[in-house]
Amino acid sequence: MKLQTKIPLTRQPHNLIDYKSKLLLIGSCFVENIGDKLAYYKFQNTLNPIGILFQPIAIEKLITRAINKDFFTEEDVFFYNEQWHCYDVHSCLSNASKEKLLEDLKKSVIQTHQQILESSHLIITLGTSWVYRLIASDAIVANCHKKPQKQFLKELLTVDEVSESLSVIIALVKSVNPNTTIIFTVSPVRHLKDGFVENTQSKSHLISAIHQVVKPRKNIFYFPSYELMMDELRDYRFYKDDMIHPNQLAVNYIWDKFKNVWISDESQTIMDGVDEIQKGLTHKLFNPKSEQYQ
């Protein structure tokens, strides 16, 4: 008896991730789940240098700025709720000091620039097609920083607009690092604040757009994180209490699928050893002075 529909996944024959790989991960909060796993197993990875980015235009802006080393200036930041913010980055970088924020933003641009040049793999996770446009500047922002909603217009990017943005990202990255492998995926996190129908429409636009740019012969791939959650894990026991975010069991499941597709056999053997050491480091010792511990 079959109790689950399985998505057929093919192991990649080339460009597998190993301990020599350098990975850059950018995108929504789900990419942080994957990044945390890679960090746990001690892979060389850089995760969201300017914080979480949910939509493709925000990622395109980051890639463009980083490649051109176009540093943020005082005109790019603003003061609100006793902190300095930037519309193009996540609030995790916001700071009470304008100088410190600009310094951190410069470091993030330099770091992203270097990682794009050196990365063997770029993993981009898209969360939504919904964007917010700041009325005052007519610019699409990455983060509203809790400013009044009346200052923004909410828009749904079309499939063509998402596809065009992804094409720009690919062209920019390949122009400075032609050999890098790009892996797109769609976050399984449900953006229900947009509405149930609106969330489905948003995810559909992302998936349709990604499949317009995926070209395995050019090292551009798609990994079905969203489909694994929706099909193989179609049960609320795989969600956190908010019924929106995948819980740890679901994250582990999707990570295991990713590992089997993208990580080399030799590296998986090393990962087992790293896991053993990590568990040992968290083990509560009864007698730290014992001969066994020493």
CATH topology of domain 22-70+114-190+199-271: Rossmann fold (3.40.50)
Report the pLDDT value the prediction gives residue 29, as an integer from 0 to 100.
86
Q: Which residues of the chain have pLDDT under 70?
A: 284-288, 292-294
Q: Specify the pTM.
A: 0.93
Report the pLDDT value the prediction gives residue 23, as an integer from 0 to 100.
98
Three-class SS string for the chain?
CCCCCCCCCCCCCCCCECCCCEEEEEECHHHHHHHHHHHHCCCEEEECCCCCCCCHHHHHHHHHHHHHCCCCCHHHEEEECCEEEECCCCHHHCECCHHHHHHHHHHHHHHHHHHHHHCCEEEEEECCCEEEEECCCCEEECCCCCCCHHHEEEEECCHHHHHHHHHHHHHHHHHHCCCCEEEEEECCCCCHHHCHHHHHHHHHHHHHHHHHHCEHHHCEEECCHHHHHHHHCCCHHHECCCCCCECHHHHHHHHHHHHHHHECHHHHHHHHHHHHHHHHHCCCCCCCCCCCCC
Report the pLDDT value the prediction gives residue 294, as an integer from 0 to 100.
63
